[in-house]
Amino acid sequence: MMSRLRGSWRSGCRLRALAGLLALAFFAGPIMGCSMFNKEDDYVPEDPADKLYNEGLFLLNNKRDYETAAKKFDEVDRQNPYSDWARKALLMSAYSYYQAQKYEDCINAAKRYVTLHPGSPDSAYAQYLIGISYYDQILDVNHDQARADKAVAALEEVVRKYPDTEYALNAKKKIDTARDQLAGKEMEVGRYYMKKRDFTGAINRFKVVVTQYQTTREVEEALARLTEAYISIGIMDEAQTAAAVLGHNFPDSAWYKDAYKLVKSAGGEPSENKGSWMSRAFKGLG
């Protein structure tokens, strides 16, 4: 990525020539009667875009001073907002902020890049930076999982918009992990309701896991817990279905053995009710 973002010397010369022309136009101001710039030493020329950009690269690569590097790249964008340097610097700013673990700054810069340059070959990487910035902030299941939700949404955009890129493959792996985390949060709350004997509340949480996160590692326990919860409120038909779905999809699961024992002890057998929401969620037992 670094090689793609380096500008050529010729491009830098053109930019400096343009800066010189702009400076001449600026000095023409006093002739038109602008009194506030009468003294030549009042004018402080801004740094050339290529100079700022290369200073940022030096700080990034040689000093590992990521935050200062990001600020250098921000200056390129501020001083030369419509230049090709600004486009390159904006992406490098996002990357530098990510390396500095300044995730919100990274997200803001990357979102701006995607908005301003949606057709750029590097927009896939900018979108990926948004996703992994949220992903790296995911906390354990004892905390709010809003960032996990945002990570999944941003990474799914990578997969949807840029399916043939290397970033899409990495995004898919991180999506799976983030979805496991979201399912884990639902399970934690569901277990809490079970302890409080709020079986309806627990069922609602476990239902989310089965319907929305059935490819995660949490789904086996969710089905076993549903078996227990439905037995506890006397809805044997659904308890038997939960156990049957669990046994069909995960026959060697320790959770299925527990669910089977629960149903047997309640006087039933694991059997599918085709009209159950669980059966529809798993498209039947076949």
- 114-123 confidence digits (pLDDT tens): 999 999 999 9
The answer on pLDDT for 6 being more than 70 is no
Last residue of a domain, one of 77, 99, 121: 99
- In this prediction, residue 28 carries a pLDDT of 32
Establish if 249 belongs to a structural domain: yes
Domain count, the chain: 2
- In this prediction, residue 207 carries a pLDDT of 97
Establish if 208 belongs to a structural domain: yes
Establish if 154 belongs to a structural domain: no
Last residue of a domain, one of 79, 99, 119: 99
Establish if 6 belongs to a structural domain: no
Residue carrying structure tokens 């945002």 = 150
The answer on pLDDT for 136 being more than 50 is yes
Residue carrying structure tokens 């057709």 = 119
Domain of residue 201 covers 197-286
- Higher pLDDT residue, 118 or 25? 118
Establish if 232 belongs to a structural domain: yes
Please report how the helices 9-27 and 49-58 are oriented relative to each other, as an axis angle in degrees rounded to 10: 130
Residue carrying structure tokens 């930076």 = 129
Establish if 179 belongs to a structural domain: no
- In this prediction, residue 39 carries a pLDDT of 42
Last residue of a domain, one of 99, 134, 168: 99
Lowest mean pLDDT among 155-159, 208-212, 223-227, 271-275: 271-275
